[in-house]
Amino acid sequence: MPLLSRLVPVPLFCLLLALPPAACAGPGAYITNILQLDAPRMLAPDGRAYSSEELRIRNSAGSAMSEVNREQTWIYAPTGLAEGCLGTDCPADRVGFRPGEGLPATGNFVHAGAEMYRMFDLSLAEAHQYVRADRYFEDPEPARDWIQARSWSRGGFDFQPPAAGEITFAFDVMRYLDMRVAAGTPDLPVVNADSEFWLTVTDVTIGYDVLRIAPEDLNTHVVLHSDRDSAQYEYFVRTVVETAYFDPARVYHVELAQNVFIGLVPEPSGAALYVAGLALLALLGRGRWRRVAAGGSLALLCSGLAQASTAAAGFELRMPALHLAGAPDTALPMPSGPATVVTEADGRRGGGRDFVEEPDLHTWLYSCTGTGCAPAPSPLAGDAAAAFEETRNLRSADTSNAFHVMTAEAVSTAQASHALAEASLYPLVFTVDSADALVLSFQGRATAQAHAARADDASAAVSFAVTLKNNSTGAESTFAPAALNRTVAAGEAAYDSGLLAFTMTTPLLEPGPLYLLYFDYAVSAATLPAVPEPAPLPLYGAGLACVLWLARRQRSCA
Q: Give me the pLDDT at residue 67, please.
A: 77
Q: 436 - beta bridge partners?
A: 509
C-alpha span between 103 and 155 (Å, rounded): 27
CATH fit for domain 412-527, picks 2.70.98, 2.50.20, 2.60.40, 2.60.120: 2.60.120
C-alpha span between 326 and 516 (Å, rounded): 19
C-alpha span between 358 and 78 (Å, rounded): 9
pLDDT in tens, the chain (558 residues): 332 232 333 333 333 333 333 333 345 677 888 888 888 899 999 989 998 889 988 877 777 777 776 667 776 666 777 777 777 777 654 444 444 444 555 667 778 888 887 777 777 778 888 888 887 776 555 445 556 788 888 888 899 999 999 999 999 998 888 887 776 655 555 778 889 999 999 999 888 889 999 998 899 888 887 666 677 888 888 899 999 999 999 999 999 888 888 876 544 443 343 444 444 434 433 433 232 222 222 222 233 445 788 999 999 999 998 989 988 888 887 777 667 777 776 555 666 666 666 555 677 777 777 777 766 666 787 788 888 888 888 777 777 888 889 999 998 887 788 888 887 777 888 889 899 999 999 999 999 999 987 656 899 999 999 999 999 899 999 999 999 999 999 989 999 999 999 999 999 999 999 999 988 999 999 988 755 444 444 554 565 565 565 556 555 555
CA terminus-to-terminus distance, the chain = 12
Q: Give me the pLDDT at residue 91, please.
A: 60
Strands 190-203, 252-265: pairing kind: antiparallel
- Residue 520 Ramachandran class (φ > 0 left, ψ -120 to 50 alpha, else beta): beta
pTM check: above 0.85: no
Q: Give me the pLDDT at residue 486, please.
A: 96
Query: In 3D, which of 485, 79, 30 has the Cα closest to residue 233?
Result: 30
According to CATH, where is 2.60.120 located in the chain? 412-527
- Check whether the bond before 248 is cis (ω within 30° of 0): no
Q: How far is CA 339 from CA 81, 100, 420, 487, 547, in A?
A: 10, 25, 11, 21, 54
Instruction: Tell me how far the alpha carbon of residue 41 is from its chain's centroid.
Output: 29
Q: How far is CA 14 from CA 292, 480, 497, in A?
A: 19, 60, 56
C-alpha span between 75 and 421 (Å, rounded): 14
Sequence-separated (6 or more) residues with CB below 8 Å from residue 495: 446, 447, 448, 449, 486, 488
Q: What string of DSSP letters covers 225-236? A: ETTS-EEEEEEE
Q: Give me the pLDDT at residue 376, please.
A: 62
C-alpha span between 516 and 443 (Å, rounded): 22
C-alpha span between 218 and 321 (Å, rounded): 47
Q: How far is CA 247 from CA 52, 166, 219, 445, in A?
A: 17, 9, 30, 51
Strands 29-43, 128-137: pairing kind: antiparallel
Radius of gyration of the chain (CA): 29
Sequence-separated (6 or more) residues with CB below 8 Å from residue 399: 319, 320, 321, 331, 334, 393
